[in-house]
Amino acid sequence: MENIPEDKRHIKGWGVDIDPKNDPTYPMKHRTNEEHKGYSWERPSLQPVNIEVLHSNERPNVTAVFGTSTPPSGLSGMIRRYAFKHSENSYLHWLPLLLADRVNVVEGIVDDFKQGHVPNIFAEKGMKADWKHDKAGLFQKVAITALVTTAAVLILTGKHKELAKKF
């Protein structure tokens, strides 16, 4: 029992009811209590950090390996950097990240256009599959979109009063 804290043994009754079988983590965890020694394991080789990696402030460092997909950039990147000033325990971490994700979508469309690529949103949404497997659903979507767009156009062009008169 290497995990008995020497300096606690003077406490009367310390450990009299230890029951190693009472382990709700079994069999998920093969308990060795390594983590009682803290962050002290021999770390794997470290992946060189040559892109911007944001890391949680609930840990001291970047992990030994990390993903290199899409480093933070632009306005969304600025929001993400702000988010990482706050811990995972805080809404100020997660809500800005969700906001950054939405900003990032607009940046993505701008990027597409900059590269001369007009995004085919119909195809990206997989609506070809609707045509094949869910025509009724597709017609409903198209009808709703048409209705909303018409209403928006009418309102934006100031024709809503005429529209109102008609109903």
Binding site for another protein (CB under 8 A): 24, 27-32, 34-35, 37, 39, 41-45, 47-48, 53-56, 58-59, 61-70, 72, 76, 80, 83-84, 88, 91, 94, 97-98, 100-102, 104-105, 107-109, 112, 119-121, 123-130, 132-134, 137
Nearer to another protein, 10 or 37 (CB): 37
Residues 156, 159, 163, 165, CA torsion sign: positive
Nearer to another protein, 29 or 161 (CB): 29
* Percent of the chain as helix, strand, coil, to the nearest 5: 50, 0, 50
Rounded least distance, CB 15 to another protein, Å: 21
User: What is the rounded distance in angstroms from the CA atom of residue 23 to the CA atom of residue 7?
Assistant: 24
Rounded least distance, CB 123 to another protein, Å: 6
Rounded least distance, CB 78 to another protein, Å: 14
Nearer to another protein, 13 or 38 (CB): 38
- Which alpha helices (DSSP H) does 35-90 contain, by range? 74-83
Please state the φ and ψ torsions of residue 46, each to the nearest 5 degrees. Answer: -100, 130
Nearer to another protein, 20 or 27 (CB): 27
User: Helices (H) and strands (E) in the chain — how many of each?
Assistant: 6, 0
Residue 73 and residue 80 in contact, taking contact as beta carbons nearer than 8 Å: no
Rounded least distance, CB 138 to another protein, Å: 11
